[in-house]
């Protein structure tokens, strides 16, 4: 009897090149020069920043940054294919990455998809750029208290001002036996500490010809004077 025909050997199909693997997108799709890996939290962390790539040139992407969103889509539970397809796109298109730094702060970074030149990569987390220095606001300036000078009730003939930071009431200019810069501590026995501007002015005002007792402090030395309200 004729011998059975031998089965023809079948070779397995060649593996697809990396650029054609699912999620890689082909040669016409490029990224921003980063590779990512899933970390212990289940988030995708930047493993490497390719030198000369869009991410590297921005100076805003560092190894160890966590990718929270790509173009507004959450990557927290994304598959490897999802994040690959989200990063890759046509040359010259923009990509938006929401990154979480190691200090838990977040930053939104806009990157241009482009072919990455051959250059050394950064795998060591770089120090994040320090925040821009913000000049401190200037301290508030002292302001004059509005003391009535005419009418049925008038104030003492002194110009007083308020120190916003300390709340102290001080004399502007010398006169009536007081010195410039002396602090008014009491008016008619009432302490100035914690008193509002209107409360201080109310104590200074009275009938013309009446007097107010002012306790003041100059260089740590206290003194008291009587000041007559002008008629």
What are the pLDDT digits (tens) for 5-36?
Answer: 443 333 333 433 333 333 333 457 899 999 99
- Does 47 reside within a domain? yes
- Does 119 reside within a domain? no
221: which residues sit within 8 A by CB, 6+ positions away?
Answer: none
> Are residue 164 and residue 220 in the same domain, yes or no?
yes
- Does 129 reside within a domain? no
- Does 82 reside within a domain? yes
- Does 56 reside within a domain? yes
* Cα 113 to Cα 91: distance, rounded to the nearest angstrom: 5
List the CATH number of the domain containing 202: 2.30.42.10
- Does 152 reside within a domain? yes
The pairing of beta strand 73-74 with beta strand 169-171 = unpaired
pLDDT at 101: 92
Question: In total, how many domains does the chain have?
Answer: 2
Domain hosting 194: range is: 143-228
3-state percent breakdown (helix, strand, coil) of the chain, nearest 5? 10, 30, 60
The pairing of beta strand 169-171 with beta strand 160-162 = antiparallel
- Does 124 reside within a domain? no
pTM of the model: 0.42
């Amino acid at each position: 009897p004729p011998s059975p025909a031998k089965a023809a050997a079948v070779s397995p199909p060649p593996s697809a090149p990396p650029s054609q693997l699912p999620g890689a997108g082909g040669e016409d799709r490029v990224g921003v020069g980063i590779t990512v890996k899933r970390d212990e939290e289940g988030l995708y962390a930047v493993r490497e920043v390719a030198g000369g790539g869009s991410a590297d040139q921005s100076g805003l992407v560092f190894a160890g940054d966590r990718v929270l969103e790509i173009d507004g889509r959450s990557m927290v539970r994304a598959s490897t294919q999802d994040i690959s397809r989200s990063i890759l796109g046509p040359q010259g298109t923009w990509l938006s990455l929401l990154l979480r730094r190691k200090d838990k702060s977040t930053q939104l970074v806009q990157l241009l998809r482009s072919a990455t030149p051959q250059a050394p990569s950064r795998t060591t987390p770089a120090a994040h750029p320090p925040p821009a220095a913000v000049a401190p606001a200037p301290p508030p300036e002292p302001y004059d208290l509005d003391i009535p000078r005419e009418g049925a009730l008038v104030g003492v003939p002194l110009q007083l001002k308020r120190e916003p930071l300390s709340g102290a009431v001080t004399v502007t200019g010398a006169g009536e036996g007081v010195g410039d810069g002396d602090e008014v501590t009491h008016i008619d026995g009432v302490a100035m500490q914690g008193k509002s501007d209107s409360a201080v002015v109310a104590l200074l005002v009275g009938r013309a010809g009446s007097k107010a007792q002012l306790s003041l402090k100059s260089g740590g030395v206290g003194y008291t004077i009587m000041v007559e309200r002008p008629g």
